[in-house]
Structure 1
Amino acid sequence: VSRFSRALEFLEKAADYAKKHGLDTFLGPLYGNQAVILIKLGHFRRAEELIELAGRSYETHGANSHEKMQLTFTEVFLHLQKHELERAGRGLSEVQKVLVESGDPRAEALFHELVGILKLKKGEAENALHHFRKSLEIGERIAPRSEIVNQAKRWLGEAYLVLGELEKAADCLRESIEISDEMGDGYERAAALRALGHVELKRGNREKAVKVLRRVSDLFESMGNEFEKAVTLLDIAVIAAKNRDSRADTFAAMALRAFELSGSEYWKARAAYALATAYGAQKKYAEAFRELERAEETFSKFGDEEYIARSNELRDQIDAALVAVASKEFNYFFRKDRIERDEVKVKLLLENFVRELDAVSGLIAFSDVPGEIKVEAAYNVDREDLTPILSEFDALMAEGRNVRFSSRGNDLRVRFRTATGNGFLYIKGNGRPLSKEDILGALHFSDLLEYLFRTQPLSRNEGRTVSIVIPSENRYIVTRNPEMLDILAFIEKISDLPLPVLIYGETGTGKELIARYIHRKSRRSSKPFVPVNCANIPTSILESELFGFKKGAFTDAYEDRKGWFEVADGGTIFLDEVAEAGPTVQAKLLRFLEDKIITPLGSRESRKVDVRFLAATNRRLEDEVREGRFREDLYYRLKGVLIELPPLRERRDDIPLLASYFLEKVRTELGIEVTEITRDGIDLLMDYPWPGNIRELENVIKSAAVHAGAGGRISREILLTLIGDTRGTEVKKLKAELEDIEKKRILRVLEEVGWNKSRAARILGLSRQGLILKIKKYGLTSTAVRQ
């Protein structure tokens, strides 16, 4: 009847009696039963000790298979409560081996219940339902109103709740409460009532939900069950934070204290996340970041994708709120438009800022090329501290974050954009946690630095090549084209979104390279990236290549083989030329996108895989849909995020950069020391329309280098033999069309900014002088002047 403390007293007395009277064979089961109660109470450390004692007792005094199986069930229960899902899965696999031989229907019912809980915690609610139904079916055969039936009903309600089937959830939970009342089982009654509270919350009845949850908290308190009370308080804290209730942090802090006593890392992280949410709502940003960082480390350790995603979303919200407040409330320095670029001394600014915060030291660094970080200014930083500080820059970049705290909250790192890459501000505090004002000041200071770093290099290094070079395995994305830079910035925002990405671009525009970059920027970067070109695999075998097959599925299937989706589990799969997939494969792709389930050829069993899905095509899929060659429902699934890559003819400002990059590759990979590409050679490359895009340019540079030979130069004459004279009618026509597009774009931007040439030049990616030359070239005038 859920009087757990009294139950423990009797079990402890029984164990003492067994020890005194030499009844050692009773000790294992007695320790195991104590552990079960302690797990329900959330006393995990003591439960672990008792499970270990029970195991030793069985080793010393012997145990039958039933007793061993019961102890394994207890261990699994502990792992599930602590959210140690892999260990729980291994324990259930052990039980499964001996379950059939035992012939124990109660054990079978408990097995299905625990498997169901594991599936539910993994986010597989449909699979969980199957196991809870099986547990219920077995339980009803044993006794229709038993503990087994009660628990199965309650867990069915929890699963229906996750699936959004609220009426079914409510029915199951009410039945569980009825059985609990008949049996006097206060624990199950309170647990079912808590789930009913969440049903009300999903129905939009927030006040009723909170009222129910408060009642549940009181029920668990009356049982002396501090752990389940804390779980309930955590639910209340999350609801309160979402509704900006000032008590949210109090509820979350109470839960956190209880979880710290229980010894559960995972639940401490859940409470820290709730506390971060509450602090964020209260604009206590330093405290919010501190708790969030604490939670994120644990969620990553436990592989909890749902809460990793929630943490990222919360971090983005706090980032955005901080930036908004910083720009609105603070003006630590002076108006940016009054700064004389050449007179700004970054080191002096840094020193003043560190003193303003009463901090210890500070550093400003930037990176324009991969693997190369330059220190712009440092104040009070010891040489031996440089390497660990700069490694934080890499970590910040890899995580795609803008702000990061130390676990104690007194060191701060802020990322900002430069003209050609990223900058980094590091502040070491004096031991006290940084305040909201400190953080806002740092954001404002980084805003100033961003302005300086975006404008200053252009005035100091006029005529220098400005590019962003981003490593993607052994290949690079090289660009200074505004449209491509926007795409790269967009990728940083969507790299971790659980949505499919469709990349459209002509042949040779670098679709796979962009896909690799998305993977590299995501949290899956350490897991496999599996590229599959659908055009290179015959339609007849594409299905088996992607989804795998069972032995005997077809004539040459001599053994089971994993498909590419299974190989990519945990990572990213990239389907190039996805329009080439036939109807059968398209149907299977649709199913995967809907529920992440794959079925190998010749198998009756489906498998769930955790794979980020990227696809690419050089055809317009909407045209393929109209022609009946591509499924409309699959098309709409695929275009969750659409990235369109511009052809090289629309990236003419990148051609000299790319040509230089490919020339350097030739020197490194082929060992041909070509000195340069001549000026008229570059002009020819700029005029050519590049139907094969970047791939064609790379091949032309390689061939030209071979023709030029070591010590030679790639001249216009050599290039003409490879790509022909570009002064033909077609190219002239194309050039005229391109100029017309450019003219219209420049005029549109100028009109949008009221003919402010400096602003227009920044938007267009031109220098102010370059824009003035183009205005003269095209004879552009403002609407007002024309009128």
Structure 2
Amino acid sequence: MKEHRLEGVYQDKKLSYIRSLVDDKKFSQALAEIREEETLNRFGLDSVEQGEFLYLSALVLYHTGRYKEALAKASKAYEVFRASSANQILGNILYILGAISQALGDFDQAETELRDAVAAFRRADDHQGIADCYNKLANLCFVRSDYSQASRYLKLALTQVDKTGDQRTKAGILGNLGRIYSLLGEWDKAKENLKLNLAANEKYGDEVNLARSWLALSYVQMLRRESSEAKESLQNAYDLVIANNLPRELAIYHEYFGELCLLEGNAKMAEEQYQKSLEIGEKIAPDGDIINQVCRLMAELKVNTGHYSSAAKFASRSLEVSQQLGDRLEEGACYRVLALIYDHNLESTRAKKQLSQALKVFQKTKNDYELAKTYMVAGKLKCLDSLTALKFLSKSEDIFSELGTKPYLAATYLALAELLSGENEGSQSLLFAEEAEKLIAGLDDDQLKQQLLALKQRTQLRLVEEKQSLNSKYDLAHIITASPRMRSIIQLAERFKDADIAVFIEGETGTGKDLLAKAIHYSSKRRDKKFIAVNCSAIPEALLENQLFGYAKGAYTGADRDKPGLIELADGGTFYLDEIADAPLSIQVKLLRVLETKELVRLGDNEPRQVDVRFIASTNRDLNHALEEGRIRQDLYYRLCGVRLVLPPLRERKEDIPLLLEHFIKDTGPLASNLTEVELTELYSKLQAYDWPGNIRELENEIKRSVVMAGIKERNLLELLLEKFEGLRNGSGKSLNEKVSDFEKSLILQALQATNWVKTKAARILNIPESTLRHKIETYQINSENG
């Protein structure tokens, strides 16, 4: 704020000298003079000089971070001038009262005092004072996350400053706009405004505001992953902060330096810096904005290092202070980190509630940047199914692409890659990982680069191992069947395996459509090229179009390079469209064009590209109904249906059950040798009497789980399978999902009982991660009482 000299008031030489020190921003020296003057007690209780001295004391105490003492002095100064017509000094006192109230966390009081200050300055016809108040009100809205109102106040401030011609103050307001842009994810605008602000502060020798400019610029540089520049800016800020004895700015320095340390992978040093910031914050304002911000950052750090109990404590403290301050941005960020904590603790209901609250906050405040960060976190939650997670990550990608925030777009691609890797979609996972690598190639983000490298190595190793076994595993000759219908289908597939015509596979869920599609590819002349599969029901429409067809540089904001689609990457190989009936009609139109012309056009491009791809499609829906309902375009169906293969359900090929049973038992372990020919014959008869609504997949799950439980309970496999078969037959009124859930719950319960409820051992027996076991225990509400 520009300080105002009152003509005729400063008759006292000491007050004039203190005022000159304040004008020169020499607050430490001014404080020493004030302390000396306090011992003399020279002024009358209600004199103008006493009021001026109290005001100057409040001003200096505020700028040196002594807020409570500053409040007492400013309140007394206001009482001295309250009944006077000295509107300018009243405006100054009300302004500093508002600033102090904000620093102490009393935002409502701060807003009232600042509005009263505007009125006082209007009476004094002081445009500079009005501009300062609007700027401070904008800062108040900024802390409350009301960025639209903050922007309006800043524009009002600029209007007032233009009347004064004060370029110095104008630069300061532009700096505040830069800070708002940084939190909205508009980093280029933020950097531009902050550099203008910094240059002005350097020009005028304003060391206090120069320190703040360097801090704000360092934060934007960190967000842009410009670590070297951020370090330099932080060092410049630190030198000025120490030289001018600025405790609040010192706390912010430690906060930002901690974030930079974490960005570079040094969690220990980051925690040390956060702790220093908290210690300063507790001294100057125990319920102020330093506390809620750094506690939230500390909670995020603890989550990253696996200390969830400690993370919960910091997040709760931050949430409490944020709600007291009305700081909606930090409140939403707290909900976000609490969602991660509850998700880790397998408290899925509470995790989803915290996620919902975070989304509501950022949707209400229209903060797309924080909203996208929350979508990205949602995509990582274990309590959400993979389809929901994909939808959240797709929304995150859209926003970060629009904003052009490369580091967060790369982090979103990493999350997508990890999700797809977990779904055994290795090829697609690598595509996203490679996109993330390109985005951060020129950025300083060692942590993200290490995560990407580890993911790529894991995925590539698995793909190599899979490729070595695919040629032998997925071969038409190796499909297990004794069914005449299945043999006819295999013979037909064998005849057309090397043809370029499309294949359409129909069949219920669990009948082996995916297996047949892979067998056709790995038996064909295309076996050495890629087999890429996409589940059309599992990927949101916007993301599906990008993934299938790719995009050209400049196709939309954030598309800063050409990206080939999955169809292009399958050139020379086979592209498998699983659940084609669930593909959006807009996608079906583009697929039809590729099938007809053997060409595709990337999004945002006009240049067609030749592709040599053999298409296989499948659906588990009733095809006639799908066509009647318009789920599948007839022209696309006719193009895909070069060869139509209809897989029978297991209930119509029960002669395959003995072969499948033998294969699954052998594939699971050595326990098959425990069954005699007589026992096997009895088991065949029982299993063939059941209709298997879940088809081969249901049979496989039942056999493999029973083999595991036979080992746990030291039971005869035949007895266990027969018991399980009776349960299946008696529960035939239930859906497949219900039956699978019942069986899974039973299996988990038996494993827990066998290990005296030691979850680590039970997870080892079940051959699943302990985190997965804990999640399922919560989902099924399993405890020792109901066990």
TM-score under structure 1 length normalisation = 0.42
Greater share of residues in helix: 2
Return the index of the structure with the highest Cα Rg: 2
Query: Which of the pair is proportionally richer in strand?
Result: 1
Q: TM-score, normalized by length of structure 2?
A: 0.42
